Structure 1
Amino acid sequence: MSDKYVFTLDENVKQFAEKNLKETDESRDAALEEIKRWLIEEGPHLHARLEDKYILPFLRGCKFNTEKTKAKLTNYYTMRRDQPEQFSNRDPLLTEIQELVKLGVFVPLRRTVENRLVIIIRTAVHDPKKHKQDDVFKAGKMILDVAALEDELVQIYGITAIFDMTGVGLWHAKMLTPNIVKKTVFSWQNYHCRPRQLEFINAPLYINVVLRVFKSFMTEKMRNRVRVHFGGVESLHEVVDRDVLPPEYGGNGESMESLVKYWSEKLLSNREWFAEDEQYKAE
């Protein structure tokens, strides 16, 4: 097939994938064949993408356990159907998406840490009286999709997510209803790239009240990946090198303004892909 995947990453990545994900040329070919056959024969109601490059991230996220991959694919494409508020009309030109992207609600860095994608999520930079929480998550997922498509290492090494809690107030907390939180955690656990670290910085003293709600919907493995940093960003530098972080977070890396501009332009350049991608969801 013309879309057949070819491993082009270096030997160190190949060894990491084999040791940590059980990925070899043989296991990859066999698993891709099995999942494609299953999607064609038993899962046509999912209306899933059949190209290698869209199946492989799910296999990697499930360490090539094909039964877990089938479950995750089912959850993912069902989620895309059942949450139109986050997965339909993903047009980068929409005013609400433009505003949120330019505010910098969700900003991947362009340098990695131990090959992991680092994402800064500014949880309170938007106005909760103006912007819907579903639109915030929608904009974030759009950026994540583009970032993950561009960098295959994300699939193998995962993501370090930094949640900047600066400015979180009562109205932000009110938007995080149990239903919204449940949807959010379900999405994290069934998306095509894995959060390996969840770092909360500039956290208010009542952060544990908020996190308790989130953790109630998490698997134990994900709960163990949550870490809270009090008193500024100093302890974050033990997790993410200063050379990677923007100056706004005490680092020497690219500025938030420059990163926001980059991802805003990236979304616009992928507008046709978003329009084409919207058809893929459970029937």
Structure 2
Amino acid sequence: MQPHLPDEIDDARIERIYVNCKCSIERVKKGLDAYYSLRTRYPEMMMNRDPMGADVVSTMEHIVMLTMPRLTKELYRVHIFADPDPDPTWVSWTNYGKTVSINLDWMLLNDYSLGDVVIMDLKNTTAGHVLRSDINMIRAIEFGYKTAYCRSLKALHLINADKVVDLAMKILKAALSEKLQKRIHVHPPGSTTLFDQVAKEYLPDELGGTAGPMNKLAYDFFRRTEKMRDWFLEQDRYIADESKRPPDNHYADDMYGVAGSFKKLSVD
């Protein structure tokens, strides 16, 4: 009944969005609308997503990104971002957002979990890395994560937080909602406070856990998306056609403001 949305919406995506939205039909509708309109609003992040493309491969070569295979007892999924290249010239939040969206799509088709715990290891992170932050892209990633993929961030842990933590916090507070800011936890170098909130069995060996070596876990994480390469490339065909959006569909108003399109903006 929504002609602006593509017909190819698989049941697996609807089912997992339904779970993520705590069984709210209205939130599912808004999530699906956001999911397909996001591609036209942020094509640099949501289009041309090739898991074997140079932009994604380069990102994975300069920072370890992985999703842990075991759910916590609360049924949360643990994600790790660690060991960044000390040279900050590689940092691209557009490429980073594209890589994150690839993982989110994989989870939307294959994963059952009730929220996410993100752990960012700030070791090797310098002011140069932080200053290359793109607040607009961080906000786009947050919007996509929360509204289009309907995921829930339960905690963000910054570990080995040293000299750059104050600068990093300023960036995060400028980009994240107040609700998410309250879920940020800072752990200085040498502390064991992370284990009070995330058990060692859910963490890789390098972070003091017992779940296995980080490089192997990252390799497995990367290879599973490669197997879906054809699917990701095909998704560029399925986007929201705003010219066909029904006049009584106001989801774009709520998500983007100004009725979702400058074509509808009236100036007195």
**Considering only aligned residues, what root-mean-square deviation do their CA atoms show, in Å?**
2.4
Shift of the alpha carbon at 1:123? 7.7
| TM-score under structure 2 length normalisation | 0.79
| TM-score under structure 1 length normalisation | 0.75
Q: Secondary structure at the match of 2:200?
A: coil
Q: Paired residue for 1:45?
A: 4
Match of 2:110 among 150, 162, 166: 150
2:81 corresponds to 1:124: no
Q: Paired residue for 1:223?
A: 181
Paired residue total? 239
AA of the residue aligned to 2:234? E
AA of the residue aligned to 1:101? M
Runs of 4+ in 1 over 6 A off after TM superposition: none
Unaligned 5+ residue runs, structure 1?
1-40
Q: Paired residue for 1:110?
A: 69
Shift of the alpha carbon at 1:120? 0.2
Q: Distance in 1 between matches of 2:91 and 2:57?
A: 12
Q: Paired residue for 1:262?
A: 220
Shift of the alpha carbon at 1:127? 4.4
Which digits, 9 at most, give the CA deviation of each residue in 1:213-260, with x for residues without a partner?
433443443233222212345111112211221111011111111112
Q: Distance in 2 between matches of 1:48 and 1:230?
A: 49
Q: Secondary structure at the match of 2:141?
A: helix
Match of 1:251 among 193, 209, 212: 209
Shift of the alpha carbon at 1:138? 1.2
| C-alpha distance 133-65 of structure 1, shift in aligned 2 (>3 A) | same
Shift of the alpha carbon at 1:96? 2.8
Q: Secondary structure at the match of 2:4?
A: helix
Shift of the alpha carbon at 1:172? 1.4
Shift of the alpha carbon at 1:271? 0.8
Match of 2:34 among 59, 75, 90: 75
Q: Secondary structure at the match of 1:44?
A: coil
Shift of the alpha carbon at 1:52? 2.3
Match of 1:188 among 136, 140, 145: 145
Shift of the alpha carbon at 1:131? 4.5
Match of 2:118 among 139, 161, 166: 161
On the 8 A contact 1:48/1:281 being kept in 2, the answer is no
Could you say which structure has the greater relative contact order, defined with CA pairs below 8 angstroms and 6 or more residues apart?
2
Match of 2:97 among 132, 137, 155: 137
On the 8 A contact 1:57/1:193 being kept in 2, the answer is no
AA of the residue aligned to 1:128? P
Match of 2:60 among 98, 101, 104: 101
Q: Secondary structure at the match of 2:118?
A: strand
Q: Paired residue for 1:179?
A: 136
Q: Secondary structure at the match of 1:173?
A: helix
AA of the residue aligned to 1:140? V
| C-alpha distance 261-233 of structure 1, shift in aligned 2 (>3 A) | farther
Q: Paired residue for 1:18?
A: none
Which digits, 9 at most, give the CA deviation of each residue in 1:80-134, with x for residues without a partner?
2211111111112212312322444321111221221110023834743134221
On the 8 A contact 1:181/1:213 being kept in 2, the answer is no
Unaligned 5+ residue runs, structure 2?
242-268
On the 8 A contact 1:142/1:267 being kept in 2, the answer is yes
